[in-house]
């Protein structure tokens, strides 16, 4: 068979033409990279060439990969594993130790200081990028598209300079929850992240929401945007400001959907791909399958607090282990700290676990989780109820979305003890409504015309085919008061 027939057959099989686009990716390390990697691998499998930007201290983003070529900038980003892990450890110590509000405030200030250093380092990265011949080599490489995580503005700045179409893989921007940068977000029914409010608010809750919005805008205006004024002016010239860089995005691939997120106004260039990383469960490794099967009719509980929280204070870990030990279920606990003295025979400590494959196993009865978006989406996909122990960032809000739908329960980890934890497990395990509600969410989530990853790929390739998606971008961005009016009422 002549090769051209193979090519034509391929084209006919694929909804979009298979052609070798060139994609330049600016990822964010840690759990964000887990997401970006899914898209990069899918782009690679569809014949696109992917270049990934990293720094010398990138910890998850490897220099060599079969799926991409890396471009390593000879600088440290300062955004490392330690940054968040240490913060969480200190936060747990302060909150659980009943330390003073002043100690908590000092920690927040220290954290703010570290964030400030990261912004300064990011600016240095941008300067290094533009002042070496790297930017020229990016220009020469004639990319079709910049794909970036908008937690930092680097990708948006490069896309603007190179005049390339810009696609965000987004849940957060450096200005907060992604929607707030792009869609009308009336504060009367759109809860700000961190408030743990739903879309049904009392008057006082709305007031609290508005105050939080003001405080958050103040933080962005004084502690984020000013760092970048200089580099934007220097490399992109006048007429560009920090917000306009983000509003220039052709597409926003949003890592949520409306099974997870409360219904809210959106925009034509927002593509929802929540759960795009989810896949049917693969068979477990033999030793895990054996352990799971040994649980008999009682089933298995799995627990993970995510990639960043390896260790817990000893008393907390002991309480958790002791509560698990009282259960007839088997437990798989991803934990890197010292082995708790109270650990029962029914509990397996692991450094890492195939979380999604376990969640998809019919024996799994409950997921004890910190509430990162990835884990919550996987629990929805597989229909496993959650007992939530949120710590920082969006974790309380993510879990709250599960709780208000009756598909899980939140426990305050800062004043949790063995009894509270045990009661929480009992409640979610024994009240069938939790599982029924999560299974309902799962049915809704899975009932989509296309898989979320395929939808994302379609639209990335759409932007390549048409060299942007200007017809989907609203005129509201030209309006000077739009950010104020978008949250009115």
Inter-residue contact 332 to 287 (CB < 8 Å): no
Which residue of 83, 228, 333, 462 would you call a contact of a second copy, by CB under 8 A? 462
Residue 142 interacts with a second copy (CB under 8 A): yes or no: no
Q: Give the burial class of 57: count Cβ atoms within 10 A of its Cβ; 0-12 exposed, 13-18 middle, 19 or more buried.
A: middle
- Least distance to a second copy from the beta carbon of 191, Å? 10
Instruction: Give the Cα separation of 143 and 140 in Å (integer).
Output: 8
Site stretch for a second copy (CB under 8 A), options 55-63, 259-267, 318-326, 343-351: 259-267
Residue 465 interacts with a second copy (CB under 8 A): yes or no: yes
Residue 17 interacts with a second copy (CB under 8 A): yes or no: no
Residue 417 interacts with a second copy (CB under 8 A): yes or no: no
Residue 458 interacts with a second copy (CB under 8 A): yes or no: yes
- Least distance to a second copy from the beta carbon of 475, Å? 4
The pair of three-digit structure tokens given for residue 272, joined into one six-digit string: 């929802």
Residue 314 interacts with a second copy (CB under 8 A): yes or no: no
Residue 210 interacts with a second copy (CB under 8 A): yes or no: no
Rounded to the nearest 10 degrees, the angle between the axes of helix 203-223 and helix 101-131 is: 50
DSSP letter, residue 285:
P
Q: Tokens 């003001």 belong to which residue?
A: 214
Within 415-474, residue ranges assigned H as helices are: 418-430, 432-446, 452-466
Q: Which of 45, 80, 252 is nearest to 149 (CA)?
A: 252
Q: Tokens 């799962």 belong to which residue?
A: 442
Q: Which CB, 48 or 445, lies closer to a second copy?
A: 445
- Least distance to a second copy from the beta carbon of 470, Å? 9
Indicate if the alpha-carbon torsion angle 252, 257, 260, 263 is positive or negative.
positive
Q: Which of 375, 376, 413 is nearest to 391 (CA)?
A: 413
Instruction: Give the Cα separation of 325 and 301 in Å (integer).
Output: 12
Instruction: Give the Cα separation of 286 and 133 in Å (integer).
Output: 51
Residue 262 interacts with a second copy (CB under 8 A): yes or no: yes
Site map 268..287 versus a second copy, x via CB under 8 A: xx------------------
The pair of three-digit structure tokens given for residue 199, joined into one six-digit string: 């879309």
Q: Tokens 């007992």 belong to which residue?
A: 387
Residue 259 interacts with a second copy (CB under 8 A): yes or no: yes
Residue 447 interacts with a second copy (CB under 8 A): yes or no: yes
- Least distance to a second copy from the beta carbon of 325, Å? 39
Q: How far is CA 243 from the centre of its chain?
A: 21
Which residue of 120, 200, 339, 467 would you call a contact of a second copy, by CB under 8 A? 200
Residue 336 interacts with a second copy (CB under 8 A): yes or no: no
Instruction: Give the Cα separation of 281 and 361 in Å (integer).
Output: 7
Which residue of 42, 349, 350, 472 would you call a contact of a second copy, by CB under 8 A? 472
Instruction: Give the Cα separation of 81 and 311 in Å (integer).
Output: 13
Return the C-alpha torsion angle 327, 331, 334, 338, nearest 10: 50
Inter-residue contact 48 to 18 (CB < 8 Å): no
DSSP, residue by residue, 367-407: EEE---HHHHHHHHHHT--EEE---STTHHHHHHHHHHTTS
Which residue of 87, 168, 189, 227 would you call a contact of a second copy, by CB under 8 A? 189
Q: Which CB, 130 or 262, lies closer to a second copy?
A: 262
Instruction: Give the Cα separation of 273 and 20 in Å (integer).
Output: 23
Site stretch for a second copy (CB under 8 A), options 24-32, 57-65, 341-349, 468-476: 468-476
Residue 433 interacts with a second copy (CB under 8 A): yes or no: no
Residue 294 interacts with a second copy (CB under 8 A): yes or no: no
Which residue of 18, 34, 111, 265 would you call a contact of a second copy, by CB under 8 A? 265
Q: Which CB, 142 or 471, lies closer to a second copy?
A: 471
Q: Which CB, 33 or 189, lies closer to a second copy?
A: 189
Which residue of 70, 212, 417, 474 would you call a contact of a second copy, by CB under 8 A? 474
Which residue of 15, 47, 230, 283 would you call a contact of a second copy, by CB under 8 A? 15
Q: Which CB, 294 or 485, lies closer to a second copy?
A: 485
Binding site for a second copy (CB under 8 A): 15, 183-184, 186, 188-189, 199-200, 258-259, 262-269, 443-444, 447, 449-450, 454-455, 458-459, 462, 465-466, 471-476, 478-479, 481-482, 484-486, 488-489
């Amino acid at each position: 068979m002549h090769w051209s027939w193979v090519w034509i057959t391929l084209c006919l099989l694929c909804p979009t033409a298979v052609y070798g686009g060139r994609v330049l990716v600016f990822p964010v390390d840690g759990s964000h990279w887990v997401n970006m990697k899914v898209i990069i691998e899918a782009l690679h499998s569809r014949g696109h060439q992917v270049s990934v930007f990293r720094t010398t201290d990138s910890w998850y983003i490897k220099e060599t990969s079969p799926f991409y070529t890396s471009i390593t900038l000879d600088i440290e980003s300062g955004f490392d594993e330690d940054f968040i892990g240490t913060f969480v450890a200190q936060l747990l110590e302060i909150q659980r130790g009943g330390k003073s509000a002043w100690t908590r405030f000092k920690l927040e200030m220290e954290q703010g200081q570290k964030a400030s250093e990261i912004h300064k380092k990011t600016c240095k990265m941008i300067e290094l990028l533009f002042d070496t011949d790297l930017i020229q080599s990016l220009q020469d490489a004639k990319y079709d598209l910049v794909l970036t995580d908008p937690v930092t503005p680097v990708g948006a700045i490069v896309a603007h300079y190179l005049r390339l179409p810009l696609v965000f893989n987004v849940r957060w921007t450096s200005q907060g929850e992604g929607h707030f940068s792009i869609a009308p977000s009336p504060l009367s029914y759109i809860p700000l992240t961190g408030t743990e409010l739903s879309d049904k608010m009392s008057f006082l809750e709305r007031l609290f929401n508005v105050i939080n919005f003001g405080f958050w805008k103040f933080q962005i205006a004084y502690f984020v945007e000013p760092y970048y004024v200089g580099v934007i002016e220097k490399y992109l010239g006048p007429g560009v400001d920090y917000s306009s860089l983000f509003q220039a995005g052709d597409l926003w691939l949003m890592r949520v959907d409306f099974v997870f997120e409360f219904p809210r106004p959106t925009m034509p260039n927002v593509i929802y791909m929540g759960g795009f990383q989810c896949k049917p469960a693969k068979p477990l490794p033999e030793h895990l399958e054996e352990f799971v099967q040994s649980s008999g009719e009682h089933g298995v509980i799995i627990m993970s607090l995510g990639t960043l929280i390896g260790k817990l204070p000893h008393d907390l870990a002991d309480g958790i282990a002791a509560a698990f030990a009282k259960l007839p279920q088997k437990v798989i606990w991803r934990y890197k700290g010292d082995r708790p003295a109270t650990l029962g025979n029914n509990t397996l400590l692991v450094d890492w676990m195939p979380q999604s494959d376990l969640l998809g196993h019919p024996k799994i009865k409950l997921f004890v989780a910190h509430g990162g978006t990835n884990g919550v989406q996987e629990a929805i996909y597989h229909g496993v109820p959650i007992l939530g122990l949120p710590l920082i960032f969006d974790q309380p809000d993510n879990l709250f979305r599960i709780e208000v739908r009756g598909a899980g329960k939140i426990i305050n980890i800062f004043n949790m003890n063995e009894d509270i934890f045990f009661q929480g497990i009992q409640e979610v395990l024994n009240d069938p409504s939790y599982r029924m509600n999560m299974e309902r969410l799962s049915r809704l989530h899975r009932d989509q015309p296309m898989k979320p990853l395929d939808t994302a790929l379609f639209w990335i390739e759409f932007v390549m085919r048409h060299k942007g998606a200007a017809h989907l971008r609203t005129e509201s961005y030209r309006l000077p008061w739009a950010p104020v009016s978008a949250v009115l009422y």
